[in-house]
Structure 1
């Protein structure tokens, strides 16, 4: 199963640690027919790719997570 889609996220879509779980409702996946739930750290690099389905979760341009350094 390979969707290879890209999901653009707002900073408010990330959890307190700066990540999301895949499968994710924003990716229009049904939990009952998807892969196991996996945590993806989006904040660290601005994007993260699911190792199961290949979906890329990316912060939208101009979005920033957390405090500025």
Structure 2
């Protein structure tokens, strides 16, 4: 079993849609030995949790994605 972790991200770490994929090297994971690749929308609420491994991806305090509408 893996332990849950929190990965703090900068806005520049997000893709153009405001998300990231898990697993990711940013969380110390090797793609070949973890779980299927899933897309997580971090920009929507400022954080997202992977349903497979429980890793939480969170925007670092003060970071904002995109322009205010």
TM-score by length of 1: 0.96
RMSD: 0.8
2:30 and 2:40 map into 1 onto residues whose CA distance is: 18
Displacement of 1:3:
2.4
Residue segments in structure 2 that go unaligned for 5+ positions in a row? none
Length, aligned pairs only: 69
Deviations 1:18-62 (A, max 9, x none): 000000110000111110000000000000000000000000000
TM-score, normalising length: structure 2: 0.96
Segments of 4+ moved more than 3 angstroms: none
